[in-house]
Chains A and B, each alone.
Chain A
Amino acid sequence: MASTQTTEKTSNFTSKDLVSDQDIRWCPGCGDYSILKQVQKVLPELGLKKENIVFVSGIGCSSRFPYYMNTYGMHTIHGRAASIATGLKVSRPELSVWVVTGDGDSLSIGGNHFIHTLRKNPNLNILLFNNEIYGLTKGQFSPTSPEGKVTKSSPMGSVEHPFNPLALALGADATFVARSMDRDPKHLQAMIRRSAEHKGTSLLEIYQNCNVFNDGAFFEFTDRATKTDRALFLEHGKPLTFGAENRKGIRLRDGCQPEIVDLEKGGLSESDLWIHDEKDSLKAGLLARLPENAGNGQGEFPSAFGVFYAIERYCLEEAVNAQIKKARERMGDGELDALIRGDHVWEIK
């Protein structure tokens, strides 16, 4: 069941070959354009064969994605893309299977499949476009919309507490959890690459701007004036720093309580800070909830971007096919006539 995506590095296609003949129908200015472009940019670098790539999507704006990729593709039904992709991957482990989904698709109607897919860990790459709004149905609040969000279906503000997608994924025992954003192409490319290279289900949450119904939801992470203070970029083995010239850092008091420290004033060095470890599930959980911490007089906590968590665990399709192999070793390849006949027969003469 060796995956083609890591064993070969020569692809039989270029980015241009991935552009389908369909007109793209996303709204002008939608964040989806950037994501499509970065995917098309990265895929040829992964050593895949074009005919082995399949994009599977659910329903929603993001889920039109497969139509714009000149690979095999399935535009399916609302919320079920992860399950459909799982069936494809288990039955055809040699394929590179990508799931394109949104916050409504995966966290609302498809929430059950989302958590169970992560737990089962088939080798899928899930790109979760999170724009914190329902776009295709024209602007209702989604399960990731913040409390109080005023939308068409919540004119007095949403009364619901939102999901934290990465905390949810970690709670579901995901083996790879990362976050990026549409407006940072370089970072997004790197994260797509990491997702593809991960063996097991990779969950990449992509903050995606819906410029029609939720414009600017994530601008604080990309606007020149705010981004250094609001976005923290993770690197394995490196301290958690952010702010102008990385002068702010995050330290863990008592091993589990994040606090913002000023590296210039506090007499602290980078070695005193929280060093990011992608294999630490506990700290991944703290990272996922970082912005929820009350500030300690040093301003608000930033949101993290990058790989939060990446561990190895056996893949579903490997286990399924290993059992078939084992059964064949034990009992020999099935013999239909013997099966039908069974152990007790009698003759009528």
Chain B
Amino acid sequence: MSKEKIQFKTNVVIRFAGDSGDGIQLTGTQFTTSTALAGNDLATYPDYPAEIRAPAGTIAGVSGFQLHFGSDEVHTSGDYSDVLVVMNAAALKANLSHLKKGGIIIANEDGFDEKNLRLAKYPEGENPIRDDSLEEYQVHIVPVTKLTRECLKDTGLGVRDMDRSKNMFVLGLLYYMYNRSMDPTIQFLESKFAKKPEVAEANVKAMKAGYSFADTTEIQHGRFEVKAAPMVKGTYRSIMGNQATAFGLIAASRRANLPIYYATYPITPASDILHELSRHKNFGVVTVQAEDEISAVASAIGASFGGSLAVTASAGPGISLKTEAISLATIYEIPLVVCDIQRAGPSTGLPTKMEQADLMQAIYGRPGEAPLPVVAATSPADCFDAVFEACRIALEFMTPVFFLSDGYLANGAEPWRFPSSSDLKEIRVGFATEADKENGVYHPYKRDERLVRKWARPGTPGLEHRIGGLEKEDVTGNVSYDPDNHETMVKIRQQKVDNIADHIPLQELDSGPEKGELLVIGWGSTYGTIKAALKQLREEGVDVAHAHLRYLNPFPKNLGELIKNYDRILVPEVNNGQLVRLLRDQFLAPAIPYNKIKGQPFAVAEIKNRIWELLNR
């Protein structure tokens, strides 16, 4: 095996692209696993179409997966890729703008035949891999389909089945280029196709053929090595956001010692939480795929009344259908965790693309005065901690809580130094008992010093009581139309949520000076991008502060003070300006919006440029 000329790189961005039926997501996640096991820091970004199988060969059907890995800290999936792997002409056309000038293109020659070129709408007679249009790039043309068929010709598989392994050929080739072990993928294939060993064998064979092909062609001169990243000591695994959300819910259920009742209706990009949870029924998890969004949240409310850790999830359109029920949970004052895995809206919008545009919906989107806490995750792994915190607040404060994630976090992956269960916070749940009666009467809306009422479960003798959506009398919970009482109750419910600020951490700076010219405030999935941008700026001599909010309602108690230490506040959001309004509203802060609304995360360079602009440099 040729070992000449291995170049060392601190970080690499690879983008895989092909038809949505080409197994691009699988190729990407397999490369991710091997890369994680090799000790690199990494971040991924799957970019797939809304159609399951748009017509093959067309731009609409192109599915992409971007992976950024490095020997240094990696905070984003990368603005532009170093390597673009394309299975056909449409994939090249759709993704070339994401490739750095001088970058490497690995093109499946068989995907550039006349038919594919026509479907990708290249002018007749033009073929980008044959003419000089790609001369700014290093292009490796590999007849992937042909070579895969060739290596599998003795397996007895049909042509269609053989072609299904061509993604593995490409994966093998990439494994060679980046000096990765094929073993994790071999294990994966053998377990995935345990019942179809001939399929597993064909895939392994194709991958090994790709590996060998790279070793015997000019690709051998372009081998790269990305050393393990200097990460905090500990044991790591790779985790995706939705998976971390599912684990966080299970962890909260264990710490609270309550069964989970998770009811939802399938919707992109939230469904994988349901898929993950439904595999773990041995944790006592009840998963319900309801007939619609409303039924999902409604049944969760029923389970909450019964004493479960009740959770519902959706994306923006589904959340709006649940609105009335969430307002019911608000006036009931019962625990309910509402996971909003945001996607680009309004309406169906761009269902597979990310956006942060449901913040206002989470905070205000209910009939009447119906405040509730809102917690947002900042990275795929952080979904675990953030949803755990949402559960804690819901259970300890008897309130519905919004957990915000988005399509970027949900499907993105990163290394996770996972906690031990003993490191997790305790969640204190105190059910009402007969001892809570006063003079033989139980008052369901009597509150403690935090203004939190008790959870009285059916089945408890002597605490029989009714809860309802009609305004209730303070303390007794009886129906009341009294004007003064209504105002009192609205204020109490607001104060109860505001009081939660006493029970969450103070806002800390993620980086930068404690006073100064500029503070960048973000929330949710922009965390990695802002962090990476400010780190680069710091290396270039500009020290700007960064605070990233997990608690959107109520805000941490010190946020107003913290903001005052800066001349200006920049608020980058993947929406048309939502947090920025909250900050202006609550703190009269000189907050400047910076918005991107393209269904895609910010690029590091975009944040940097905006800051340069603001600082007039």
Q: Which residues of A contact B (CB under 8 A)?
A: 20, 22, 49-54, 56, 59, 66-67, 69-77, 80, 83-92, 94-95, 112-113, 116, 320, 323-324, 326-328, 330-334, 336-337, 339-342, 344-349
Contacts and interface: CB of A to CB of B under 8 A. Distances in A.
Nearest to B420: A337
Contact of A51 (B232, B295, B417, B463): B463
B328 interface: yes
B298 A83 contact: yes
Given A66-B466, A340-B247, A77 B286 contact: no
A241 to B, nearest CB: 40
Contact of A83 (B295, B306, B457, B465): B295
A76 B298 contact: yes
A69 to B, nearest CB: 8
Interface in B267-317: 280-286, 288, 290-292, 294-295, 298-308, 310
Contact of B418 (A88, A331, A341): A341
Contacts, number: 201
Contact of B464 (A50, A86, A320, A334): A50
Interface residues of B, number: 71
A73 B325 CA distance: 17
Contacts of B328: 76-77
Contacts of A59: 469
B55 interface: no
Contacts of B465: 72-73
Contact of B462 (A51, A80, A89, A341): A51
Contacts of B304: 87
A90 B468 contact: no
A320 B289 CA distance: 12
B189 to A, nearest CB: 14
A87 B261 contact: yes
A95 B303 CA distance: 12
B231 A84 contact: no
A86 B467 contact: no
Contact of B302 (A73, A83, A320, A328): A83
B198 to A, nearest CB: 24
A296 to B, nearest CB: 41
A76 B469 contact: yes
A49 B461 contact: yes
The listed residue with most B CB atoms (<10 A of its CB), out of A67, A88, A330, is A88
A82 to B, nearest CB: 8
Given A91-B308, A346-B39, A84 B184 contact: no
A334 B249 CA distance: 13
A91 B470 contact: no
Interface in B315-358: 324-325, 328
B299 A84 contact: yes
A346 B184 CA distance: 12
- For the complex of A and B, 5 pairs with smallest distance between CB atoms: A87-B302, A87-B299, A75-B468, A334-B283, A88-B302
23 contacts: A50-B464, A51-B461, A72-B466, A80-B298, A83-B295, A87-B261, A87-B299, A87-B301, A88-B306, A88-B458, A89-B302, A90-B288, A112-B291, A112-B295, A116-B291, A116-B295, A324-B285, A327-B280, A341-B235, A344-B33, A344-B184, A346-B235, A348-B232
